[in-house]
């Protein structure tokens, strides 16, 4: 397929869509699907048929529009209406409501289901990565092409050299969205320059490439579902980003590593790859140019450590997901010994808009060192839970209280946890801090992949630290001793504190152990595992002390024995 053919598809698809006066978008993301949204789509179709409005309106299954706590969601976009063009959002829709919704098309909205679209949850967001989620049908490539999909790929293939693509990404200031925030352009440049013959390689038969692109979709972080929503809601965007990356670094083969726990994302990605191959947007000689690029899906099997890049490579090679020391970095010595580019799903999804709208546009969003937007999965004790995308530099207060709508009735804010088991708890005093890589690191947390869990005053912070340490203990791969043994000992100490049997001395040991594990572990899992403990010790020390002091008073007056027997 070349550019003219691509434009022709886009044009005919847009014409077909323009004929309908009303578009009914039903969310079929995992959360809404669990609440029967597919039945709603069917019921809406049936209602349209019954009322003879099929020519007039179309039902489309779309990815996640974000406000999962009010799901299942149905958005009605009307071109011409008594009140002009407008959008309506219906919340908590049930299949029985379908007929009423259809009956009210073009007239008054169904008041009992309507939720305003101008609430801060929507107006305070800025969508780049998620701009298509909730708008395109993830299972139809034509729909993606109609809104300008694959134009960026065509642009780089026909107008830009690989070096120009890398320069554009470098100038945009895009940084890795997986957590550590490594500059993406720099990584791409290193892989592009790497010599595939420097190290001995053992690429399996049948794969004709000496460099690779890997999309890291192993979102193991509990409480995070950004990558899942992007892969489910806009899979073609990920494929397009991968193909552009492949062109820039000189790779002809890509892997998407997805968790097996995300069956819907796997299914949609498989469909998307098949459609793109059939359309000639993946495969040999894309767009009539000499560039070839193939993508294969590899399933994870439930190991948190596989989010670490060297462990992920070991897993794709068919082995246990064990990390190895770096350097050499995967950019020089990666999959089967070849130079390998590993980027997170969200990073790659940022690439097509940067190519189309330019690096300057992207660099104008965000703060000095953190450009663009970040997707967060906002969950926990907050009114509106769901998926949000905000410009870098927004304050935590705006996220929790404006977009999230604040705490549920009668609860008060205590802390927000970012970065999952690798991150820390941020107390109320830092609510006005801007959210960017540096600021979060300064207060002892990390940006992480984007999980953001709000905790209220009833949350026991020692228990939270213990919960995360239990997670890291289970997920430690066992290769290096500080992580394998250290996490177990830290967990044991936290349990002891929780049971009221710890002394001041144990607290000191805990701090020493955290420091040791942080500085001597082999990979990111161990190095960041103590973060939840360190940050809660720093900001909520009195909770630890309270549990110790109680023990001390028991032992002095001799009651402790009675309490525990």
Partner 1 sequence: MVNQLNRPPSPAGNGQPDARLLSDKRYKLIEATMRRYGYQGHGLIEALHSAQEAFGYLDDFTLRHIARTLRLPPSKVFGVATFYNYFTLKPQGAHTCVVCLGTACYIKGAREVLNAIEAAHQVKAGGTTADNQLSLLTARCFGSCALAPVITFDGETIGKVSPDHVADLIAQRLVGASQVLEHAEP
Distances (CA, A) of 330 to 188, 309, 339: 11, 8, 6
In whole angstroms, the minimum distance from the beta carbon of 422 to partner 1 comes to 12
Told to check if 28 binds partner 1 by CB under 8 A, we report no
Smaller CB separation from partner 1, 92 or 554: 92
Which residue in 124, 298, 326, 383 binds partner 1 (CB under 8 A)?
298
In whole angstroms, the minimum distance from the beta carbon of 510 to partner 1 comes to 21
Told to check if 376 binds partner 1 by CB under 8 A, we report no
Smaller CB separation from partner 1, 188 or 304: 304
In whole angstroms, the minimum distance from the beta carbon of 500 to partner 1 comes to 19
In whole angstroms, the minimum distance from the beta carbon of 543 to partner 1 comes to 16
CA distance between the termini of the chain = 77
Size of the site for partner 1 (CB under 8 A): 54
Smaller CB separation from partner 1, 35 or 552: 35
**DSSP class of residue 20?**
-
Smaller CB separation from partner 1, 362 or 539: 539
Told to check if 260 binds partner 1 by CB under 8 A, we report yes
CA distance 363 to 370: 9
- Binding part of the chain for partner 1, among 66-74, 275-283, 362-370, 438-446 by CB under 8 A, reads 66-74
Q: Which of residues 67-86 bind partner 1 (CB under 8 A)?
A: 68-69, 71
Q: Where are the beta strands (DSSP E) in 53-173?
A: 57-62, 74-78, 86-90, 114-115
Choose among 242, 243, 251: nearest CA to 338: 251
Told to check if 44 binds partner 1 by CB under 8 A, we report no
CA distance 366 to 369: 8
In whole angstroms, the minimum distance from the beta carbon of 336 to partner 1 comes to 8
Told to check if 410 binds partner 1 by CB under 8 A, we report no
Q: Other CB atoms closer than 10 Å to residue 283's CB: what's the count?
A: 15
Q: Quote the distance between the C-alpha of residue 137 and its chain's center.
A: 19
Binding mask 470-509 for partner 1 (x = CB under 8 A): -x-----x--------------------------------
In whole angstroms, the minimum distance from the beta carbon of 31 to partner 1 comes to 5
Which residue in 134, 220, 366, 482 binds partner 1 (CB under 8 A)?
220
SS percent in the chain: helix, strand, coil, step 5: 50, 15, 35
In whole angstroms, the minimum distance from the beta carbon of 330 to partner 1 comes to 16
CA distance 220 to 265: 14
Q: Is the dihedral of CA 137, 143, 146, 152 positive or negative?
A: positive
Choose among 12, 14, 331: nearest CA to 166: 331
Q: Which of residues 383-402 bind partner 1 (CB under 8 A)?
A: 385-386
Helices 345-357 and 226-233: crossing angle, nearest 10°? 60
Which residue in 150, 304, 333, 540 binds partner 1 (CB under 8 A)?
304
User: Are the C-beta atoms of 454 and 381 separated by less than 8 Å?
Assistant: yes
- Binding part of the chain for partner 1, among 174-182, 460-468, 487-495, 547-555 by CB under 8 A, reads 460-468
Pairing of strands 413-418, 424-427: antiparallel
Q: Please tell me whether residue 390 adopts helix, strand or coil conformation.
A: strand
Which residue in 97, 143, 168, 221 binds partner 1 (CB under 8 A)?
221
Task: Kindly report the backbone phi and psi dihedral angles of residue 80, in degrees, each rounded to the nearest multiple of 5, phi listed first.
Answer: -120, 135
Distances (CA, A) of 7 to 16, 42, 51: 14, 31, 35
| H or E element at residue 524 | helix 524-528
Told to check if 206 binds partner 1 by CB under 8 A, we report yes
Judged by the rule CB under 8 A, the positions of this chain that interact with partner 1 are 30-31, 33-35, 68-69, 71, 204-207, 219-225, 228, 260-262, 298-304, 315-321, 377, 379-381, 385-386, 417, 420, 451, 453, 455, 459, 464, 467-468, 471, 477
């Amino acid at each position: 397929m070349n550019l003219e053919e691509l434009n022709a598809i886009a044009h005919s698809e847009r014409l077909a869509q323009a004929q309908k006066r009303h578009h009914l978008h039903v969310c079929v993301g995992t959360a809404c699907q669990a609440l029967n949204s597919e039945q709603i789509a069917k019921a809406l179709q049936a209602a349209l048929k019954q009322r003879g409005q099929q020519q007039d309106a179309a039902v489309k299954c779309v990815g996640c529009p974000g406000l999962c706590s009010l799901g299942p969601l149905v958005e009605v976009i009307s071109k011409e209406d008594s009140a002009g063009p407008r959008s309506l959002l219906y919340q908590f829709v049930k299949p029985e409501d379908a007929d009423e919704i259809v009956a009210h098309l073009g007239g008054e909205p169904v008041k009992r289901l309507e939720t305003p679209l101008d609430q801060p949850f929507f107006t305070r967001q800025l969508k780049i990565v998620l701009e298509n989620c909730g708008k395109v049908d993830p299972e139809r490539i034509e729909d993606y092409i109609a809104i300008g999909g694959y134009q960026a790929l065509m642009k780089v293939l026909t107008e830009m050299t690989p070096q120009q693509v890398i320069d554009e990404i470098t100038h945009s200031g895009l940084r890795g969205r997986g957590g550590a925030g490594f500059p993406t352009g720099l990584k791409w440049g290193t892989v592009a320059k790497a010599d595939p013959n420097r190290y001995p390689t053992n690429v399996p038969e049948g794969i004709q490439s000496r460099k690779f692109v890997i999309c890291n979709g192993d979102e193991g972080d509990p409480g995070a579902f950004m990558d899942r929503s992007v892969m489910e809601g806009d899979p073609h965007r990920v494929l397009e980003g991968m193909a552009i990356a492949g062109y820039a670094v000189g790779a002809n083969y890509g892997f998407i590593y997805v968790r097996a726990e995300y069956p819907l994302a796997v299914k949609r990605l498989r469909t998307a790859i098949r459609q793109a191959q059939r359309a000639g947007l993946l495969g040999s000689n894309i767009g009539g140019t000499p560039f070839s690029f193939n993508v294969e899906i590899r399933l994870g099997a439930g190991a948190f450590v596989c989010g670490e890049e060297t462990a992920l490579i070991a897993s794709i090679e068919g082995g246990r997901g064990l990390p190895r020391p770096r350097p050499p970095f995967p950019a020089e010595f990666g999959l089967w010994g070849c130079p390998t580019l590993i980027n997170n799903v969200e990073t790659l999804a940022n690439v097509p808009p940067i190519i189309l709208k330019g690096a300057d546009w992207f660099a104008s969003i965000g703060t000095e060192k953190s450009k663009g937007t970040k997707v967060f999965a906002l969950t926990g004790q907050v009114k509106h839970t769901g998926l949000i995308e905000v410009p870098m530099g927004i304050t935590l207060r705006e996220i929790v209280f404006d977009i999230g709508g604040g705490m549920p009735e009668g609860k008060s804010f205590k802390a927000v946890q970012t970065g999952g088991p690798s991150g820390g708890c941020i107390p109320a005093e830092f609510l006005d801090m801007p959210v960017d890589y540096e600021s979060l690191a300064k207060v002892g947390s990390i940006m992480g992949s984007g999980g953001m869990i709000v905790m209220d005053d009833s949350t026991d912070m020692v228990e939270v630290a213990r919960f995360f340490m239990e997670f890291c203990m289970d997920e430690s791969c066992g290769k290096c001793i500080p992580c394998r043994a250290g996490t177990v000992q830290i967990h044991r100490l936290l349990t002891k504190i929780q049971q009221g049997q710890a002394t001041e001395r144990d607290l000191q040991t805990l701090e020493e152990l955290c420091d040791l594990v942080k500085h001597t572990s082999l990979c990111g899992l161990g190095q960041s595992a103590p973060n939840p403990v360190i940050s809660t010790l720093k900001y909520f020390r009195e909770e630890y002390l309270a549990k110790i002091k109680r023990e001390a008073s028991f032992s002095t007056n001799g009651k402790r024995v009675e309490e525990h027997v």
